[in-house]
């Protein structure tokens, strides 16, 4: 019971040195089937030398990645659920996916996966046959190709949380064009979802450039969809027959013009 209340920082840095029994627990691969590093403020408060300076932030992110990889190694292929926020990058994403074929839930939020060398998305997606829950939020340069590969290679996927930035930045905070490009509505993501994810039950879209055409495609292509939440998708114009269809077809349908913070209910659902 005590170990369950510890943060991952305390678990890996301190708990294993308390006694022989706790050390054995920390080394058990099944202990690490779930890895949650979504509240980095916990580690920042614990780290006495971490301040707001940019070099220190970069160094601290590197330390978090090393700690995360250490926990992944301890899982010894038994990793099932992983939640990463703020410090992830392309290399860490590849490391996670290559570590286990048992991953069922992958949450990768507010991370930068921009790199001049693109991910081998098809090979990575093939390594996630058990994936049923995917959350990709504000991850710069997450491509339509990766989304399509996930849809094709992960037939068990039933939950998708996809949030995007209209403007994207690389590791040096330089703006580059996002996958959609331009200031017009774009339905590439919607068409991929409709074409490759007919089994989808729960979907959350935030700051996506989806238009009414894309939403209709999702409604047609995902007949099992029960939960749909649309947040700050400014190119949608929901009214009339389309709005009526959403309310009639989707059991839980919600549209927000502003992003809602601390949305624990929808976080649990998705």
Predicted confidence (pLDDT) per residue in 52-91, tens digit: 445 556 677 788 888 899 889 989 999 999 999 888 888 8
- The hierarchical CATH code for the domain 30-269 is 3.80.10.10
**What pLDDT score does 49 carry?**
42
Of the given ranges (29-33, 69-73, 85-89, 172-176), which has the lowest mean pLDDT? 172-176
The share of the chain scoring above pLDDT 70, in percent, equals 69
pLDDT digits (tens, 9 = 90+) for 224-246: 999 999 998 989 988 889 999 99
Does the pLDDT at position 37 exceed 70?
Answer: yes
Nearest to 99 by CA among 124, 64, 66: 124
Higher pLDDT, residue 25 or 73? 73
CB 243 within 8 A of CB 236: no
What is the C-alpha to C-alpha distance for residues 133 and 203, in angstroms, rounded to an integer? 10
- CB of 211 within 8 A of CB of 187? yes
pLDDT score at 269: 43
d(CA 240, CA 101): 45
**pLDDT value for 110:** 81
């Amino acid at each position: 019971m005590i170990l369950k209340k510890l943060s991952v920082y305390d678990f890996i840095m301190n708990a294993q040195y308390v006694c022989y029994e706790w050390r054995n627990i920390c080394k058990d691969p099944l202990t690490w089937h779930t890895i949650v590093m979504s509240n980095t403020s916990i580690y920042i408060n614990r780290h006495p030398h971490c301040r707001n300076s940019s070099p220190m932030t970069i160094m601290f992110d590197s330390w978090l990645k090393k700690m995360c990889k250490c926990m992944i190694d301890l899982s010894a292929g038994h990793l099932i659920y992983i939640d990463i926020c703020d410090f992830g990058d392309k290399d860490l994403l590849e490391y996670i996916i290559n570590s286990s074929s048992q991953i069922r839930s992958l949450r990768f939020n507010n991370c930068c996966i921009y790199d001049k060398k693109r991910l081998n998305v098809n090979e990575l997606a093939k390594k996630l046959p058990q994936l049923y829950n995917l959350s990709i939020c504000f991850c710069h340069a997450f491509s339509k190709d990766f989304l399509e590969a996930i849809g094709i290679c992960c037939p068990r996927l039933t939950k998708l949380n996809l949030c995007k930035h209209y403007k994207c930045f690389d590791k040096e905070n330089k703006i580059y064009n996002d996958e959609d490009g331009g200031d017009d509505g774009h339905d590439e993501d919607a068409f991929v979802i409709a074409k490759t994810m007919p089994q989808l039950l729960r979907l959350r879209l935030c700051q996506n450039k989806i238009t009414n055409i894309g939403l209709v495609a999702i409604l047609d292509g995902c007949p099992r969809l029960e939960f749909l939440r649309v947040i700050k998708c400014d190119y949608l114009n929901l009214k009339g027959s389309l709005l009526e269809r959403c309310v009639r077809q989707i059991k839980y349908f919600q549209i927000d013009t502003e992003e809602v913070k601390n949305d624990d209910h929808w976080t649990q659902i998705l």
